[in-house]
Amino acid sequence: MMATVTGVGRRVARWVACAVAAACCVAGAALPARADGPVPVPSTPPTAPPSTPLFPGRTIRMTANFQFGEYNVLGQGAKPAAYLTLVFSEWDNGWNLTEQECQELVSTFWSGTGPDYVVEATAGSNDCQIEAYYMGEACHAFYSLDESGHMQVRPPMAYLNLIASSFDNVYFERLDFYVTGMNNAHCNASPSKEDLNTLLNITHMSICMWDVDDGATIPATDEPLMEGDVEDYFTGKLAGTVGPFTELSPPVNPFTITPAPTTDPATGPSATASGDRSETSGSSSTGLLIGIGATTAVLLLVGTGALVVALRRRK
């Protein structure tokens, strides 16, 4: 049977709605803004290493996907490319990365421009995604091919692990790795799943996956993770060339940049004092957030108490 809502019940319901709305407004002022759209990629790399750890007190989930194939590259149409996707999200605490935080990650780790290199970034409602396309000779950062047709492929795992280590807490959960245009392939470094030498019409594709939830260990070095025999599809349609591995550039690794000293190295106590002031400033910002959160909690408690008193008086 449907319950009848009395006049008192309606007034109480309206009061509760107003109290909750007011509390949510206060809470909303303390929460970061959400966004869903493209994030600008700076044309110049950072001039100093990032301050680490990033996002202290929060746990970041990180996944990576690497492929060789043909892709629609921004402003260039269909192009053969090495394609790397990084996805960052926040782990199980009800908060998501903001557009500003996504911009911070992009600016720190994948900025810069170069020939045969395009990067796109998106701040979604639940994550931050970076997509990097390497074309032409820039692809040799990821593969080597000798005259005999033996091919080795490697994602930039040393750099990806360096990114992961910059966070206060990170869960580098998964690496998916696809190569097209290679036959007789095999995976190295003990993946949790592999699907090798699948025939796709006129060529083959192989997949290696490292999933931490399935007991795998994410590879930490730039050793080749897949190797096999190159096919005509790779040297033809995907424009692969004979040559050794080359350095990954761009992005410029921000951790290798040595910033110019701002003080005399001999003035140790001054440097220490400066560090103390920075810590105090960080504590003040944290205290502000805590204070706003405490205010929200007090408003909710006061509202709940007032509601209980109002209900008791109606009895």
75 to 112, 117, 294: CA distances (angstroms): 17, 12, 49
Beta-bridge mates of residue 83: 67, 133
Predicted TM-score of the model (pTM): 0.69
Query: Could you tell me where the beta strands, DSSP code E, fall in the chain?
Result: 37-38, 54-73, 77-90, 117-123, 128-134, 143-145, 150-153, 167-180, 182-187, 193-200, 203-211, 226-230
Q: What is the pLDDT of residues 24-58, one digit of tens each?
A: 333 333 333 444 689 998 888 877 778 889 999 89
CA gap 284, 290 in Å, rounded:
10
Q: Which of 13-22, 83-92, 190-199, 225-234 has the least mean pLDDT?
A: 13-22
Rounded to an integer, what distance in angstroms lies between the CA atom of residue 264 and that of residue 267? 6
pLDDT for 290 equals: 36
Report the C-alpha gap between 2 and 297 in whole angstroms.
34
Highest mean pLDDT range out of 110-119, 187-196, 264-273? 187-196
User: Dihedral angle at the C-alpha atoms of 131, 133, 138, 142, nearest 10 degrees?
Assistant: 60
Handedness of CA 230, 232, 236, 238 (dihedral sign): negative
CA distance 58 to 78: 39
Residue 180, both tokens: 């097209």
Q: Which of 48-52, 148-152, 261-265 has the lowest average pLDDT?
A: 261-265
The pLDDT assigned to 50 comes to 81
The DSSP-derived string for 180-204 is ESEEEEEE-S--SEEEEEEEETTEE
In this predicted model, what pLDDT tens digit does every residue of 270-297 receive, in sequence order? 333 334 433 433 433 333 333 434 444 4
Calpha distance 215→172 (Å, rounded): 13
Q: Where are the beta strands (DSSP E) in 201-300?
A: 203-211, 226-230
Mean pLDDT of the chain: 76
pLDDT at 160: 95
Residue spans of beta strands (DSSP E) within 91-140: 117-123, 128-134
Q: CA dihedral defined by 204, 238, 136, 88, rounded to 10 degrees?
A: -50
Instruction: Using pLDDT thresholds of 50, 70 and 90, give the confidence band for residue 113.
Output: confident
- Chain segment 200-243, per-residue pLDDT in tens: 999 999 999 999 999 999 999 999 999 999 999 999 999 999 99
SS3 128: strand
Residues 6+ apart with CB under 8 A from 124: 36
* Amino acid 93: pLDDT: 61
